[in-house]
């Protein structure tokens, strides 16, 4: 068929056309197809009478009448019978299905009367806590906040993705750890944090006026300086070598007075010794000997934070208050002013975080790329790579 049409349309070459013509002389089927094509072409090229609006309207009315014609009574009866059979079959299936469900539900109710309720499983988004044998902690939940207060021991936490507006926080007396989708371990002693180790995700540790972001595989340990600063100061024992007795009044006044003792810490004692009597001073010439001058040791000066510590704390305060633009500028100033400070790596990364939270995505990506380029051994390279889109 295709070759016959190609021969008629002139799409065959000289050799193929000659071969097809020889084939037509011996094949009756292809010869009939060729004749049909000739007749179709003649019919298409034949002139047609012009269609008048009246004939067009009559043809349209005829089509509408045939479309709206009522079916024959025989066809309608057959259709009705098929519909009735289908409805009967559907009703039988429905009765069997619902009857089976009712009997199964009855059996389940009878069996449930002799069963105990299974224990409630922990939700997928609820944190899983695995305390050590000596761990002491309390847990409070309210208004989307899940808070764990750790007193002693170690606590392993596996926290899945939280919902919108939910927070999970571990607190001690001197620190706070907030996480999202993180697996980590926290250790504390006497209410003070000792160590945090992160296995997956990231953890934000707020301690001693600064914030540290611990990436996956990293760990953090509390500094001894902050721990010693919060220890209670023990009272020094009285030093007899540095104490002095003020001589009493002359014996002729016949009165007794109290002597003040000045200790090494500059505070008077809680109980004052009685002055020696007149007879004792006459019999013991050593008691009347003037004492040596009192020794006073001033207390150590209060520790004043350095300018770098104040600058870093100021930037962290801006970040916590939600003033992200100001926090980014302050972290940038800190990095440029104190490049050799141990917190410069943290400040350089937190600048990118502040820019991202401020909605300045392009600048945050540029800051993350700068962090990756300038700090090949930075503690936050994994987070910076995600922020930079690498």
CATH code assigned to 128-229: 2.60.120.1440
Mean pLDDT for 313-324 is 91
State residue 361's pLDDT score: 93
Domains 128-229 and 307-388 share a fold: no
Please, are residues 213 and 350 in contact by the beta-carbon 8 Å criterion?
yes
Cβ neighbours around 315 below 10 Å, total: 27
Residues forming a β-bridge with 103: none
Mean pLDDT for 144-148 is 86
3-state per-residue secondary structure call for the chain: CHHHHHHHHCCCCHHHHHHHHHHHHHCHHHHHHHHHHHHHHHHHHCCCCCCCHHHHHHHHHHHHHHHCCCCCHHHHHHHHHHHHHHHHHHHHHHHHHHHHHHHHHHHHHHHHCCCCCCCCCCCCCCCEEEECCCCEEEEEEECCEEEEEEEEEEEEEECCCCCCCCEEEEECCCEEEEEEEEEEEEEEECCEEEEEEEEEEEEEEEECCEEEEECCCCEEECCHHHHHHCCCCCCCCCCCCCCCECCCCCHHHCCCCECCECCCCCCCCCCCCECCCHHHHHHCCCCCCCCCCCCCCCCCCCCCCCHHHHHHHHHHHHHHHCCHHHHHHHHHHHHHHCCCCCCHHHHHHHHHHHHHHCCCHHHHHHHHHHHHHHCCCCCCHHHHHHHHCC
Model's pTM, two decimal places?
Answer: 0.32
Query: In this predicted model, which residue has the larger pLDDT, 172 or 84?
Result: 172
| Domain ranges (residues) in the chain | 2-45, 53-112, 128-229, 238-281, 307-388
Confidence of residue 101 (pLDDT cuts 50, 70, 90): low
CA 390, CA 384: separation in Å to the nearest integer?
Answer: 9
Please, are residues 355 and 374 in contact by the beta-carbon 8 Å criterion?
no
pLDDT in tens, 172-230: 998 999 887 688 999 999 989 998 998 888 888 888 777 888 888 888 888 754 444 44
Top CATH class of 307-388 equals: mainly alpha
State residue 57's pLDDT score: 87
């Amino acid at each position: 068929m295709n070759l016959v049409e190609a021969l008629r349309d002139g799409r065959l070459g000289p050799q193929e056309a000659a071969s097809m013509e020889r084939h037509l002389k011996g094949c009756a089927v292809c010869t009939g197809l060729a004749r049909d094509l000739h007749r179709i072409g003649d019919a298409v090229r034949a002139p047609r009478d012009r269609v008048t609006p009246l004939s067009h309207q009559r043809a349209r009315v005829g089509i509408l009448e045939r479309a709206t014609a009522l079916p024959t009574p025989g066809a309608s009866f057959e259709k009705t019978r098929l519909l009735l059979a289908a409805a009967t079959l559907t009703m039988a299936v429905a009765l069997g299905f619902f009857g089976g469900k009712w009997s199964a539900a009855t059996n389940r109710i009878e069996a449930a009367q002799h069963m105990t309720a299974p224990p409630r499983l922990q939700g997928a988004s609820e944190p899983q806590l695995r305390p050590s044998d000596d761990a002491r902690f309390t847990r409070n939940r309210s208004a989307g906040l899940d808070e764990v207060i750790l007193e002693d021991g170690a606590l392993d936490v596996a926290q899945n993705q939280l919902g919108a507006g939910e927070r999970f926080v571990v607190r001690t007396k001197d620190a706070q750890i907030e996480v999202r989708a993180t697996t980590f371990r926290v250790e504390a002693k006497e209410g003070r944090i000792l160590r945090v180790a992160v296995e997956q995700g990231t953890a934000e540790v707020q301690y001693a006026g600064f914030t540290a972001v611990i990436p996956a595989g990293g760990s953090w340990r509390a500094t001894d300086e902050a721990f010693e600063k919060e220890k209670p100061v023990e009272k020094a024992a009285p030093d007899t070598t540095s104490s002095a007795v003020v001589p009493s009044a002359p014996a002729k006044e016949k009165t007794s007075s109290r002597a003040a003792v000045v200790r090494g810490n500059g505070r008077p004692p809680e109980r004052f010794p009685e002055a020696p009597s007149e007879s004792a001073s006459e019999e013991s010439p050593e008691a009347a000997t003037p004492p040596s001058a009192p020794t006073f040791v001033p207390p150590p000066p209060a520790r004043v934070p350095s300018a770098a510590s104040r600058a870093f704390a100021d930037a962290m305060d801006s970040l916590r208050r939600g003033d992200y633009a100001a926090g980014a500028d302050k972290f940038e100033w800190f990095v440029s002013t104190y490049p050799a400070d141990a917190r410069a790596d943290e400040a350089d990364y937190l600048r990118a975080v502040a820019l991202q939270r401020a909605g300045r995505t392009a600048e945050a990506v540029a800051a993350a790329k700068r962090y990756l380029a300038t700090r090949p051994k930075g503690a936050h390279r994994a987070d910076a790579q995600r922020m930079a889109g690498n």
